Amino acid sequence: MLQTLKNRSAQEARKVLAAASATVLPQPFDVDFASRYGTTEEAVNSVLSEIRRNVGVAPNDHSRQAQSKIVDFLSETLSETTFAEADRTAARARLGQRGDLSLGLYEIRYVEDFNERLAESGLRKSEVQKTAKDPDAFEHLKPITFVRDKNRSISFLVKNFLTGSNSYTALIVAERSDFFLEVDSAWKIYHDEVDVAQKTPHQIFKAFLDIYGADIIMGGKTKKYFNHEMVSQNPNETKKTLAFEALQEHGADYYGYVESGGSDNADFLEVFQAYMINRSKYKDSLRRHGTLVK
Amino acid sequence: MPSHFLYSTNVFLKLVIQERFRNDVHYVWCSESFNPSKLNPYSIKSMIAPSSSPCDIYNEIKNALTRNDRHSDKINNQKLSFKNLADNWEAGGEITKEQRDEIYYMTENATSNDWRPLIYIIPRAIFDGSSRLKTVAPAKRASFGVEYIIEDLSRTEFDLIEL
């Protein structure tokens, strides 16, 4: 903490530092920054003088190197003084939830039974980790949700593994919550089975569901994929229910994902995501391509 | 004769900040020539100092990133500039404290990709008959050449290129 700011309130310190920053940065017009930020020229000059002493720059040194040292010190001091760790974490969480955070700043984690799902995906753990850490493309769904009771959104990450005729794309479906990406499932999508060319990660997932997804009937609609849609609940019941039916092949094994939100007694629920993947058909495809799978 | 275009070099992070927090309205410092050093040395248009030359700024940032130097003068200036903008906008009630914090966080955690320079190409004709193109005061310029400020450039009013 700068000595010249020691006896000032946090709010006053912010004003002085903001004015000092504006003073050292190139400005196109003459502005009285001290007044603009609600502080005094004396306070600003005191701070700048102390910074010069701290970084070892003479009062009359206006060289580029001197300027650079002052700017660097001011920038760090601004953050230390006016940007608390709790605020930093909260900002990161908000950016992450919105999908506006750089991918490297998300924390990757895996659902509890992911190892079992991995065993049935045909992918190696290293391939999933590579896809999560260094994807070729990713897409954060940023829907306009009608229901706010769940702080969860979906992100897709993909990585191509080009191995000639057996080339495939590893696709991860992750739940995004604050700055966490929780890997829920991973799929090995062969290029000779699903056309992935010129497609975004979400489009690749939809193309995958076109082939391996089962038809789902909800709220009078029949589709392979529900993505942030309002679905009507059964009317005329004392307790409203979300009617769900999947047209499954007899004897086939399915991986299902259904997440919804809203009030139980409302006429409509928001279905965040709903799909049913024919895992038997998927594994047959893996085996045809020489992939060993459980 | 005035140039047909105005040029400004800005980093990618600035584009994102203006897009997300300022309704995609951009504040740019620009000049009539991308590379004043290539002009007739007796022309006033050539008298733009390297520190204000879009070409020199572009190359300086690009070279710093190639050396993996995210603490170059230009980038450090940008970091402080974004924090200052955030404080300024919050003080003016134009953004919330949460948004100010988000700009701080993005600035502190920016990657090389975020610092990559972009060239804005702005058709001069869109300012004909308007007072939107403001001349930087001579005392505030780096040299004799004319520099301009546009405070309310809409995203539809400029093109972006990377070299």
Per-residue pLDDT of A271-285, as tens digits, reads 889 999 999 999 999
Give the strands of the sheet with A221-223, arranged side by side. A221-223, A216-218, A244-246
Q: Which residue of A has its CA nearest to B70?
A: A72
CB contact under 8 A, B140 and A14: no
CB contact under 8 A, A75 and B98: no
Find the angle CA(B40)-CA(B44)-CA(B46) to the nearest 5 degrees. 50
Q: Which residues contact B73 (CB under 8 A, 6 or more apart)?
A: A64, A67, A68, A71, B60
Q: Tell me, what's the pLDDT at A117?
A: 94
Q: Which two tokens stand for residue B83?
A: 């924090």
Residues of chain A found within 8 Å of residue B101, distances taken between Cβ atoms = 83, 87-88, 90-91
Q: Tell me, what's the pLDDT at A288?
A: 95
Q: Which two tokens stand for residue A38?
A: 């609600």
Residues of chain A found within 8 Å of residue B140, distances taken between Cβ atoms = 26-30
Confidence of residue B73 (pLDDT cuts 50, 70, 90): confident
Residues of chain A found within 8 Å of residue B136, distances taken between Cβ atoms = 28-29
CB contact under 8 A, B80 and A78: yes
Instruction: Find out whether B87 and B95 touch, Cβ atoms under 8 Å.
Output: no
Q: Tell me, what's the pLDDT at A150?
A: 58
Q: Tell me, what's the pLDDT at A29?
A: 76
Q: How many CB pairs under 8 A join A and B?
A: 93
Give the residue ranges of DSSP H helices in chain A. 10-24, 33-36, 41-55, 64-82, 85-98, 114-119, 125-133, 201-212, 279-288
The complex's ipTM works out to: 0.87
Which whole number is the average pLDDT over A247-270?
81
Q: Tell me, what's the pLDDT at A188?
A: 97
- Assess whether pLDDT exceeds 80 at residue A241: no
Q: What is the 3-state secondary structure (H, E, C) of B32-60?
A: CCCCHHHCCCCCHHHCCCHHHCHHHHHHH
Output DSSP code: residue A215.
P
- Return d(Cα A154, Cα A108) in angstroms, integer: 13
- Return d(Cα A57, Cα A72) in angstroms, integer: 13
CB contact under 8 A, A71 and B134: no
Per-residue pLDDT of A212-232, as tens digits, reads 999 999 888 899 999 988 888
- Return d(Cα A277, Cα A280) in angstroms, integer: 9
Per-residue pLDDT of A135-144, as tens digits, reads 999 999 987 6
Per-residue pLDDT of B31-60, as tens digits, reads 988 887 777 666 666 666 667 789 989 999
Residues of chain B found within 8 Å of residue A71, distances taken between Cβ atoms = 73, 76-77, 80
CA distance B45 to chain A (A): 18
Question: What is the average pLDDT value for chain B, to the nearest integer?
Answer: 88
Residues of chain A found within 8 Å of residue B108, distances taken between Cβ atoms = 79, 83, 88
Q: Which 44-103 residues of chain A touch chain B by CB within 8 A?
A: 64, 67-68, 71-72, 74-75, 78-79, 82-83, 87-88, 90-92, 94-95, 100, 102
Q: Tell me, what's the pLDDT at A242?
A: 65
